[in-house]
Amino acid sequence: MQSDDGAKIAVAGAGAFGSAVALRLAQAGRAVTVFDPSPPGLNASGVAAGMLAPVSEALFDPLSRDHLPLMRRARDLWPDFAEALAIALSRAGVRLEGSKAWRAEVAARLEQLGLAAGDTIAEDWRLEARSALTNLRAAAEDVGAVFDPGEVVSFESGALTLTDGRVESFDVLVLATGPGVRDGRIAPETSALAPIKGQILRTSAPDHDAAVVRGQGVYLAPGEAALSIGATMEAGRDDLAPDASATQALRRAAQDLRPGLDLDHAVVEVGVRATTPDGLPLVGWSRAPGVMLAVGARRNGWLFAPLVADMVAAYLTSDNPGPDAAALDARRFEKA
Ligand SMILES: Cc1cc2nc3c(=O)[nH]c(=O)nc-3n(C[C@H](O)[C@H](O)[C@H](O)COP(=O)(O)OP(=O)(O)OC[C@H]3O[C@@H](n4cnc5c(N)ncnc54)[C@H](O)[C@@H]3O)c2cc1C
């Protein structure tokens, strides 16, 4: 299925995925409305540390270890994407700091990945997540996408129903709801999603250098307004309540790296990631008629956003969705 020029497309979710998809579809001449009841940036995309970090992810997230080539392809779309949106990319890299034993363990993992051991991962980049989301939305609006605070309940036979009672006609619904829709009702494939709560601390650290510092069990990511210290991975949880018992280990690890850090006044922000069993997003047509999926970003929603947006736009314009279509196939967890 494809959509004609001018087809009416609804996107549910204005996070990194939904906003990037809206931009690409509006640029391709589709009439796009993005529905999201949350205030802009109050989602995982706004909370994220903004790392575009294929190597760090392959090193420190066991589920991402096999996805390094794909993650690199996703990262390589960023320079052009960022430039068009005036999003600044920090290329200061990720510096590895920690005990001798931990460094040796990381060096061994680097070797397994076919990479040279060293102190800095130069090919991992970073952006400022909240302002990137603002720029993305503004760019999508500039090319005609409309943002609406409605919450999507269902999509059947072209009728999109919202919680406020509105029913509107659309040709396609792109589901980019992060962890928000996963009961299989709108699209059966969303039953494969599971939530992972993430807490991140934000504090001031004026003299922190430009590189992200990665230590055992923690990263310190410098940003415009604060240093981000992240992040917890609380599988199965989807609540947004700060929880000191879960951030204790993070605080200890950060203090070990930088004993002078002011953690007493750190602000805790919470987001919920959606993961699939293999850690890669679901992208493509659902079994539910007219529903396209762009969900399941796990820890890499920013890294994957341009790739996913390009793929969704390709599916909807009958272009080739590219070499990663099979790996991200929206229906890959369906029972045969
Ligand atoms: C602490 C933390 C740190 C992270 N750091 C990084 C990082 O450094 N690099 C990286 O790439 N990724 C990082 N991530 C992961 C990244 O944030 C997510 O993968 C990404 O934000 C997911 O984007 P998304 O658009 O799929 O979902 P979200 O950002 O969750 O957006 C989904 C949107 O859908 C809306 N929605 C839900 N249900 C409905 C409905 N029924 N109708 C309409 N709208 C609906 C929600 O309100 C929400 O705004 C981090 C995540 C956390 C929590």
Is the CATH code 3.40.50.150 the one for domain 8-317? no
Phi, psi of 79 (to 5 degrees): -55, -45
Mean pLDDT of the chain: 95
- Give the three-state DSSP class for 115: coil
- Indicate the pLDDT class of residue 58, thresholds 50, 70 and 90: very high
Cβ-proximal residues to 17 (8 Å cutoff; 6+ apart), any chain: 45, 176, 178, 281, 294, 295, 297, 301, 304, 305, 308, 309
The residue with tokens 């928000």 is 180
User: Is residue 40 within 8 Å of 47, Cβ to Cβ?
Assistant: no
Segment 205-220 mean pLDDT: 89
Ligand 1 atom with least separation from CA of 152:
42
Ligand 1 atom with least separation from CA of 181:
38
Pocket test for ligand 1, best of 273, 275, 283, 328 (most atoms within 8 A of CB): 273
Phi, psi of 96 (to 5 degrees): -90, 125
Give which of 41, 67, 42, 40 is closest to 53, Cα–Cα.
67
Q: How far is residue 275's CA from residue 335's CA, in Å, rounded to a whole number?
A: 18
Beta-bridge partner residues of 169? 159
Instruction: Strand 31-35: give its sheet, edge to edge.
Output: 146-148, 31-35, 8-12, 172-175, 291-295, 282-285
Q: What is the signed CA dihedral for 62, 65, 71, 72, rounded to 10 degrees?
A: 140
What spacing in Å lies between the alpha carbon of 114 and ligand 1's midpoint? 31
What spacing in Å lies between the alpha carbon of 105 and ligand 1's midpoint? 31
Q: pTM of this prediction?
A: 0.97
Residue 3: the pLDDT is 64
User: Is residue 197 within 8 Å of 237, Cβ to Cβ?
Assistant: yes
Cα 109 → chain centroid: 24
Burial 184-194 (b: 16+ CB within 10 A, else e): eebbbbbebbb
pLDDT in tens, 20-46: 999 999 999 999 999 999 999 999 999
Q: How far is residue 47's CA from residue 129's CA, in Å, rounded to a whole number?
A: 7
Strand 291-295 to 172-175 pairing: parallel
Pocket test for ligand 1, best of 11, 34, 45, 175 (most atoms within 8 A of CB): 45
pLDDT in tens, 92-133: 999 999 999 999 999 999 999 999 988 999 999 999 999 999
Give which of 98, 48, 104, 106 is closest to 223, Cα–Cα.
48
- Indicate the pLDDT class of residue 225, thresholds 50, 70 and 90: confident
Residue 205: the pLDDT is 76
Q: How far is residue 175's CA from residue 18's CA, in Å, rounded to a whole number?
A: 8
Orientation of helix 78-85 relative to helix 68-76, angle to 10°? 30
Question: Ligand 1 pocket: which residues have CB below 6 Å?
Answer: 12-18, 35-38, 43-45, 47-51, 151-152, 176-178, 180-181, 198, 200, 230-231, 271, 273, 295, 297-303
